[in-house]
Structure 1
Amino acid sequence: MANQFLLYTIFLVFFISLFPPLIHQLSLSEDVAAVPSFAFSWVDNNDTFVAGAVATIMVKVIGKFDPAKFKHPFNPNISVNDKTGNSSYISGVSSNFGGNFGDWRISFVPIMTGLFNVLITDDHFNVFDSSLHFQVTPGKIYPSASVVSWNNGVSEFVAGTRASVMVLPKDAFGNNISSASEGLNSYNFTLSISTFNGSAATMFNFTNKGWDITGYLEIEFVVATAGNLLLHVEGDNQTLRGCPLMFIVYPGSLDVSKCLLQWEVETKYFQIFSLMEGFIHQHDQYGNLVPGFYEFDVEVIENGTNLIIPVTDMQFKQVGLGIQLFSFSLMEPGDFKLMIYHKEMNNSISTMPFHFTVYIGYCDGMNSIVNGSGLNDSVAGEAARFSVLLKDAYLYPSLIELESLQVQIVNEFDSYHTQASIHPMKMVNGTLCGMDLNCGAQNDVELAFITLADTNLDPRSMKFSAFDVSYIPEKSGIYEIRVFCGNIPLNGGHPFSKAVSPGKVNISLSGPVKFSPKVAKLTKNEITVRLMDSYSNPVLLQQSKLKLEIGSVNRSGFSTWTFVDNKDGTYNGSYMAKDVGTYELCASFEGMRFLPCPFGVNVYTSEYFPRVQNDSVWVWEDDSIAFDALENDYFAGHNITIFEFSKPGHGSTLQYGRLFRYTPFKGFYGRDSFSYTICDVNGNIASGGVDISVLSIPPQFVSVPSQLLATEDVISPQFGGFPGLEIIYSDSTENISITFSAQSGTVFLSPMLMQFWKPSWSIATISNEVGETTELTLTGSLGEINFAIQLVQYFGDENFYGTDAIQVSTMNKNGKNKLDIPILVEPINDPPFINLPPFVILDQGSEEVIIFTRVRDKSAVFVGDPDLLHYPGNKSRFLVMFSVEVSSGFLSTKLPADLVSTTELKLKTSYQWQPLQTFVTISEHFTVKAKGIRFRGTLEDCNSVLEQLVYQGDKHHAILTVTVNDMGNYGCYPDCSEMMSIPHFVEASVSLMRERPLSSLFAH
């Protein structure tokens, strides 16, 4: 039994000595078996998600797993479409690998629609799982992410025709929403049209038509207002992307019934021998001015007789786009009616007939006098009056009926008209007095040149030359006053201007309009008071008369500040309470208190109120980010509500409880922001903002060649550069950089094509030595870079061939993007070389001597070939034809046994190469002796032969000839069928001598 155990032990030791790798492999297998396996599956087997929802992968541990025994924790990477972690496909990647293995999971938020594959990897645990797929459908429509455009690009219309816009609905992540995902549900959008100055324009028959066959939502409406307009489309109070849409509406055809007559002076009384002037506004059915010069007919008909009065000097003149001026002289007094019509269309313009009166009068607009304090600045609510004295061209009084005098008093700000009261005036003892005034005279001398025989006469049937005008302006502001004698403007047609200031403060109409009933102690708080006069005009510059008073007993802990004028009738006062409690406040003006008085203010500690800190976040332009905006905010208790938040201008914001998720719109980069308001359990609110930096991603490659081809020791390509490389970048004007380098070569720009650069281009090219490589860096705009990279050329290192890679990296101010482009450098046949001295001095004391013993440099080779340097296969397959021959004497050397079949000799008596006939092999080598030796072998064989080559001869001088033929071989292993070329043959001669020559020339 002992002998059997000893035999078994000896066998085991012998087995281990023969097969140590196998034993090592068995031990590794035991280690690998200890590593657990992992299985991955979707929660509830749900592999379909709505964009923005949370997708969860359950992780199941198979086998025993003690994390403490492993150097690295289990922390797998998750990749979607070859993008690891957060990307344009998924966001918010997180994991839970706690102590409970049953609750291990990986979560992320899918943000792009489509069908995707998930790759889960962990090198430390040999995890490589690609079994999971998931489908993402679009979320709900997000109006501000949806894109609106004109149907078929048509943006020019004629008033009265239908216009159509198309809405490409998108969710908050920019995914297209279709009827397939949303069914046939239609969405209600609202449209409005404005001019470029902001005024509203008209449209009709607005209709949401729903989905069309191309996957858009169609909206139709009838355009009405002509001009260059802006279309605004909204949904849920959000403006759609692309708005406002500019469009042009041209007027429709002329509609005579819609044409309007506008007067130079709005009156029905015209002075005889004056000129009647009016403007005909040519309108279509929607009231748009129709350009062109249309022929209208004008008739003047006498009332009562219905006789047409002949007009001899009727003139028409185009004075604007779609506006005609007509004029004619009034030669007869009386009552008339004016008819303007279009004979061919058999219709008259609107407001026809126009009734007017031609009176006999000779009022002169320049000589007549308008005077009085009522033309001066005044106070709102105070009566103002002025007088009007009508005179003719000769400064005589000009008499007209009361109704012929017209006064217009208009507020410049809002076109508010103030009604004026006009009364005739009488002359008493040389003084003009109003008809309703008692001037103290007992006998009337004159009433505008007409005696008052009967005091019961109606003034409307009489004529006067002097008038009293009174009015009460109620609104403050700047007024224009115009006075007309019939159709004759006084003061040369220039208006009188006056300013009306607010009246005294009306306490009942004034008072506090804004204050907070709850404030923090030791904090400066504001109260806003509005001052109004009796006509609700804002009263300015009264801050010194305002006062904020406290009615509480404890006044020592209360401070107030003077009021500040806001220049709009409101004033801000400030106060601060030093202690908590309830305070009663009153605001007063010149000692008179406003209502409510008092009003209560509760003062709390600052911890009672929420405080919001503004947030700053950043996100890549193609990514999405979720963040807790309340994380740095303060609020009492745990219950807080995001009361409201605004929409950012260039992205979408969704709320998930306390989290906001922001996604920039496609193509946007830069700064964006939105605000939010929180509310605590006590109803206190606080507002803050989120400042978002959307970073442009480094330039991306949109076109990359799969492989480039080059030739050894040749600039490639010979003409131009490598095609197929193109990058994209968000900002076409920003300077970006792209860097090229190669491990076994140099990258540069074609100098020939660089001369075709545009003069305006400013591409910077820099070459830097980085380690053993040279980097080419180009800096310029996107268009310049894309042109320049078409000029890239490659030149490999000397004698290099095989596989190389051009490393390309694009950079902007935010980061770098890298890419390797493989390049195959095809070899060319380089000639072999022989590195031997021109002569060798042999030892005179021996007949047989090793030729190159004394001269060989230990680091050099006798024979070589540049193609061997990068030969991809086994170097034993790189064969050359090698020969050595001496002019006199013999050569002898040892050759490996595997060269027997290719070895040839040249004997002393022969001039032909002959196959080896006899040989003796010792230690896998054989010895040959002949005048010449030739064989096909490796370069190592050649160098070995030369190193031990022995010369035998009795003469003082002989010539050694060495030849190498590479047989057309240039590193094309393993397939040389298409890679052969003409063989390269090199030869070298070495003078062998027993004595040292005087110079190297004697060696030849």
Structure 2
Amino acid sequence: VGLFNVLINEDRYKVSDSSLHFQVEPGNMYPSVCVASWKGVKHEYEAGSKATIMVLLKDAFGNHISKTSQVSYLPDFKLYVLHENGSVASVPDISNMGWNDFDYVVIEFVVTKAGKFSLSLEGGNQTLNGSPLPLKVNPGTIDVSNCIAKWNIEPHAWQLASKMEIFIHQLDQYGNLVSGLYPFDSEVVERDTNLSIPIADLHFEEVDAGIQLFSFSNLEPGNFLLTIYDSKHNKSISNMPYVYRVFIGYCDGVKSVVNGSGLNDSVAGVRAEFSVYLNDIYQYPSPIEADILQVQILRENDSYSISPIIYPMLNKNGSRIASGMRYDGISYMDTAPSPSIELSNSNEISPWFQSIGNGSFVISSDFQVDYIPEKSGFYDINVYCGNIVLNEGHSFRKEVKAGEVNVSLSSVVRFSSKVSKLSTNEIVVLLMDSYLNPVLSQQSRLKLEIASSNSSGFSTLNITDNKDGSYNCSYMAKDVGTYEICASFDGKRFLSCPFSINVYSSEYFPKANNDTISIWEDQSIAFDALANDYFAGDNASIVEFSKSDHGSLIQNGRIFRYTPYKGYYGNDSFWYTISDINGNLASASVYIFVLNVPPQFVSVPNQLQATEDMISPRFGGFTGFEITYSNPMENISVNLSAQSGSIHLSPMAMQFGKVMWSELTINLGNDTATSLLIEGSVEVINFALQSIQYLGNENFYGEDTIQVSARNKNGVNSLGVPIFVDPINDPPFIVAPYFIILRSNEDETLIFDHEKDKFDFFIGDPDHLTFPGGQAHFFVTFSMEVNDGWLVTNLPVHLINTTELKHRINYQWQPLQTYVTISKHFMVKAHGIRFQGTVNDCNSVMQQLFYHGGEHGAVLTLTLNDMGNYGCYPDCADGMSMPLYTEATVNLMRKQPMSSFLAHTLGSIIVIEFVIMFSLGLLLLYFTCKCAILLAHERRNREKKSSELSTVQSSHTETSSINISDNATHFTDCCSRPSLIRFGMQSSNFRQR
């Protein structure tokens, strides 16, 4: 909707015109697209207050409709208050409806029913978008005159000494329960004397929200009036006064007997009866007045009731049963004769109780109950002796089944007058009894037969019971033609028979096939639903179609236009029915898949900056990446890659609680992969995109592009983000061996011969290949210098101005003074040579470099300075740079040095010799130490023996009686030295003298 311009261009002659324009007005209102909301977002009200809903009108495409729009269709709105289970609670009337200043339709209504509900707003049989709305209604103030008293049972006769319990429902003026214990007053008046009766045990108690229990004991017999009222406002509750009487009786709900065939299952229309024997707790008869006994017979699941007839049972002579006689309900009794008692089918007190009219004077303890059930179903039978429920307070449950089938009331309820041959067709028959009850399980007695003379090719199939009184009778006609068919029960035909059926070939009938279409969310699609359908005459029309649940649907001839609701994705469907030229119908469904649009980029950074050979940014990641996706729970993926670099994730910030990245999947691929794949929900991915870092390839700088692809299960959305990599001034390099063997014994020898030498000998710079000015403008300063001898080379003439030489006389760099050019080259010979040139110039000079010197060689020193040609250093953040240089030393040798194998062999021999000598030294040291230890031990032994010998001599001097021979023998045994032996012999001789 809006004003649009038409732009006409003619590219050949460069002619354009934009003077044409057109206005688009909104279409008719489409109710299911209109948005309903509460005014002021308020959805809680008090009963009786006014609620306001605002409706934003839209057409089928979501265009807003204002009060000034010219539309031809504005449907009536209807309100439905729904329970939580979806059932209708009330249908409020719209009190006012009109436009406000903001182009909203305002709907006002009065809420009356309290509770938690939902409000459904419909227009044109369509539910508005946003509906149902939440609604909570609180009850108003209590209205005494509207309060009501209820009983679990509602007797008007109470047995003496029983307790009367009444539930008072505290209601407001709209019938809503009002919580709290409201202070009611009560009064019991005896009707005969019109005197108020005091109540000793009057009790009020709140048993539920808005319901209080009122109870007291019936201690006196008689007729009474009960009034519950509010003395302050002089108002009584609605169903007061309550008229009741208290009778003297002793009925016991357990000992009393209720039996008879009327309590068993029976058939509709058949008279049933059962007997009631009232006993006290001791099983003695407990007679009561006849109108006190009440019987309630209710059908399950509805309010249908049966009115029974109650007879008191008397003995044969018509006298009453003596109250003192014990009776167990088995003795023979006879029913009361009809002249003595007037029978009635109604009860003047309660419409669903029946007793004996004008017979309250009859007192009996035994009764007979007769009734005739006419409707089938399950019934509950309750028997009351005043307020006492017999059968221990439980009801009797019985089933009434349908009677015999009544053919005149049964009929064929559905059949098709046109059918296709060789197809299974059905006729629906409904069986009813004389009371219009559906009859079940009679398929064996039901028959489908053909009544016409043309019976060839007609066959009946199975008959199916639908368990609701209806039966599906299947048949098949094999030939085209007209057939007359009858349905019968036990050979008796139904009144609608026979009926004619025309059989056609299958080509006569249309065939609608299901369609499947796919559409992106927030888009519209038009399609021909009849394109894949078959119909005779190539002419058919759409006679009916359903509304889609999640989008607008507009029909124009054979074309449907479907527009999903804004923000909806998922599955949708609708059905349609077509009619051909013969009036035959066919239906099919259209299944619509509303697909999620691939993730969209809502924010992308621009002018990204990075630094060569460094991860950028250093801390955190690039900000500005953000995607949007309609399904926040679905996992999507984002793939990031760079043409000349790789993408990484920076360390994420710490989070407490459930960390967000726990739901993130990161795939880095193999070691050579340069892309980054992250998977997760849109929230998690947006969080991860704030940590994106870039690292360019080695020595890369300049313009690069980060490719970002966001993918879901339906497609992919890609874009490129440019990034500029600032260059870093990388140091130059020199590739040269540690030594070079000069191959010639002449005085002047070529240092490097690229045809013979296998090693590399060149210089370079990482910034050289990608220098923006081109390789021809990348200049470096290169110097070559030897410590002994001279260097000789041939330089191109464009290096004359930058060439410097160093001579051994002063060891200073001096400009070139004299030169001779031949073929644009000139020869230089010096101790050192330095010039400024391109990398190619330097490498060319290195391959033409000669050494002139002594027989022992020299040391060649190479120095390369990049002159700060390109890039920043050390950090691009400062925007500064400085020259970088490198140096290499090469030993120029005349003789071949020892090979590595020989050097390793000699080294191994030296090591082995050292190990052997070290081992021998250790062995010699070991034996030397061992000998020293033995000598020291021998010296200690000799000193010890010398001390013992001196002791022996001193003892011989003091005591001559000592046997020196024995001692000598002892010493001889201890030491075998000859001197000691001789000493012993001398000692022995001395003893003999």
- Range of TM-score over shorter length: 0.7 to 0.9
AA of the residue aligned to 1:546: L
Percent identity of equivalent pairs: 57
2-structure distance, mates of 1:666, 1:588? 58
Supply the distance in 1 between the matched residues of 2:193 and 2:654 (Cα, whole angstroms).
Answer: 93
Partner of 2:221: 333
Aligned to 2:174: 286
State which of 552, 561, 568 in structure 2 corresponds to 1:652.
Answer: 552
Separation in structure 2 between the aligned mates of residue 948 and residue 179 of structure 1, nearest angstrom: 94
1:339, 1:352 within 8 Å by CA — same for their partners in 2? yes
Look up the match of 1:165: 53
d(CA) in 2 for partners of 1:133 and 1:767? 53
Indicate yes or no: 2:728 matched with 1:809: no
Cα distance, 1:739–1:132 mapped onto 2, change above 3 Å: farther
Q: Which of 809, 812, 821 is matched with 2:721 structurally? A: 821
CA contact (8 A) 2:29 2:71 kept: no
Q: Is the 8 A contact 2:620 2:651 kept in 1?
A: no
- Report the residue type matching 1:274 in the other structure: S
CA–CA separation in structure 1 for the residues paired with 2:11 and 2:696? 51
> Match of 1:218?
106
Structure 2 residue identity aligned to 1:191: L
Q: Deviations over 1:437-464 (max 9, x none)?
A: 599xxxxxxxxxxxxxxxx995244433
1:347-386 → structure 2 map (5 Å cutoff): 347-386=235-274
User: 1:543–1:562: 8 Å Cα contact kept in structure 2?
Assistant: no
Q: TM-score, normalised by structure 1?
A: 0.80
Matched AA of 1:341: Y
Distance in 1, Cα, partners of 2:193 & 2:713: 89
- 1:505-904 superposed matches below 5 A: 505-750=405-650, 758=659, 761=662, 763-769=664-670, 773-842=673-742, 844=744, 846-854=746-754, 862-904=762-804
Query: Which amino acid in structure 1 is aligned with residue 885 of structure 2?
Result: F
The answer (yes or no) to whether the contact 1:408–1:482 under 8 Å persists in 2 is yes
Deviation per CA, 1:701-753: give whole Å up to 9, x if none. 33332243332222333333333323333433333333232222222334676
Q: Hey, what's the Cα distance between the residues in 2 that align with 1:938 and 1:551?
A: 114
- Partners of 1:742 and 1:773 within 8 A in 2: no
Distance 1:630 1:736, change over 3 A: same
Structure 1 Cα separation of the partners of residues 444 and 338 of structure 2: 43
- Is contact 2:737–2:761 with CA below 8 Å preserved after alignment? no
Preserved contact between residue 187 and residue 210 of structure 1 (Cα < 8 Å): no
Q: Which residue of structure 2 aligns with residue 32 of structure 1?
A: none
2:139 is the alignment partner of 1:251: yes
* Superposition deviation, residue 968 in structure 1: 2.6
Q: Secondary structure at the match of 1:492?
A: coil
Which of residues 954, 961, 965 in structure 1 aligns to 2:861? Answer: 961
User: 1:411 aligned to 278, 281, 299, which one?
Assistant: 299
Residue 105 of structure 1 aligns with which residue? none
For 1:507, what is the secondary structure of its paired residue? coil
Following TM superposition, by how much is the alpha carbon of 1:203 offset from its aligned partner in structure 2, in angstroms? 5.5
Opposite residue 639 of structure 1, the aligned amino acid is N
CA root-mean-square deviation: 3.6
Q: Which residue in the other structure is 1:41 paired with?
A: none
Return closer, same or farther for 1:207/1:773 CA change in 2, 3 Å cut-off: farther
Deviation at 1:693, TM superposition (A): 2.6
User: Is the CA contact (8 Å cut-off) linking 2:81 and 2:92 kept in structure 1?
Assistant: no
Instruction: Name the CA shift for 1:437/1:377 in 2 (closer, same or farther; >3 Å).
Output: farther
Residue of structure 2 equivalent to 1:444: none
Determine helix, strand or coil for the equivalent of 1:944.
Answer: helix
Which residue of structure 1 aligns with residue 335 of structure 2?
A: 434
8 Å contact kept, 2:28–2:74: no
Alignment CA distance shift 1:675-1:59 (3 Å): farther
SS at match of 1:602: strand
Q: Which runs of 5+ in 1 are unaligned?
A: 1-45, 50-54, 64-125, 440-455
Report SS of the residue matched to 2:662.
coil
> 1:422 and 2:323 equivalent?
no
Q: How far off is 1:677 after superposition?
A: 0.3
Displacement, 1:860?
5.7
Encode CA deviations 1:196-225: one digit per residue, 9 max, x unaligned: 234322364425634444554333322222
User: Deviation of residue 760 (structure 1)?
Assistant: 9.2
Contact in 1 for aligned 2:115/2:138 (Cα 8 Å): yes
Q: Deviations over 1:590-644 (max 9, x none)?
A: 1111121211111212111111111222223343332222112110013211111
Contact 1:475-1:535 within 8 A present in 2 as well: yes
* Contact 1:892–1:927 (CA under 8 A) maintained in structure 2: yes
Q: Which residue of 1 aligns with 2:279?
A: 391
Worse overlay, 381-390 or 495-504: 381-390
Residue in 1 that maps onto 2:968: none
Equivalent residue letter for 1:190: K
**Paired residue type of 1:743:** Q
Tell me how far 1:175 sits from its aligned partner.
4.4
Deviations 1:656-678 (A, max 9, x none): 32122223333333332211100
Distance in structure 2 (CA, Å) of the matches to 1:351 and 1:854 = 125
Q: Take 2:709 and 2:833, find their aligned partners in 1: how far apart are those partners? A: 56
SS at match of 1:637: helix
Contact 2:269/2:403 (8 A) holds in 1: yes
SS state at 1:761 partner: helix
8 Å contact kept, 2:29–2:74: no
Deviation at 1:986, TM superposition (A): 1.3
Letter of the 1:690 counterpart: V
Give the C-alpha shift of residue 289 in structure 1: 1.1
Partner letter of residue 271 of structure 1?
Q
Secondary structure of 1:392 counterpart = coil
In structure 2, runs of 5+ residues without a counterpart are: 318-330, 341-355, 904-993
CA distance in 2, matches of 1:688, 1:877: 77
Tell me if structure 1 keeps the 8 A contact 2:625–2:690.
yes
Name the residue aligned to 1:91: none
Aligned to 1:11: none
User: Residues 191 and 882 (structure 1 numbering): CA distance in 2 closer, same or farther, change over 3 Å?
Assistant: same
Specify the alignment match of 1:310 in structure 2: 198
Amino acid paired to 2:244: F
2: CA distance between counterparts of 1:549 and 1:185? 53
TM-score by length of 2: 0.80
Asked if the contact 2:661–2:684 (Cα under 8 Å) also holds between the matched residues in 1, the reply is no
Q: Distance in 1 between matches of 2:384 and 2:604?
A: 82
Contact 1:289–1:323, Cα closer than 8 Å, also in 2: yes
CA deviations 1:559-595 (Å, max 9, x no partner) are 1123210111100001122222222111111111112
Which whole-Å CA distance do the structure 2 matches of 1:249 and 1:263 have between them? 27
Q: Which has the larger radius of gyration?
A: 2
Q: How many aligned residue pairs are there?
A: 871
Q: What whole-Å deviation, never above 9, does each CA across 1:910-945 have from its counterpart, x for those lacking one?
A: 443344455566666555554433333322232233
Which residue of structure 2 lines up, in the alignment, with residue 234 of structure 1? 122
Bigger mean CA deviation after superposition, 151-160 or 606-615: 151-160
SS of corresponding position for 1:941: helix
Cα distance change, pair 471–906 in 1 and its aligned pair in 2 (3 A): same
* Structure 1 residues 979 and 955: alpha-carbon distance in aligned structure 2, compared to 1, 3 A threshold: farther
Task: State how 1:103-252 maps to structure 2 within 5 Å.
Answer: 138-179=26-67, 188-202=76-90, 204-207=92-95, 209-252=97-140
Distance 1:216 1:853, change over 3 A: farther
- Structure with the bigger percentage of strand: 1
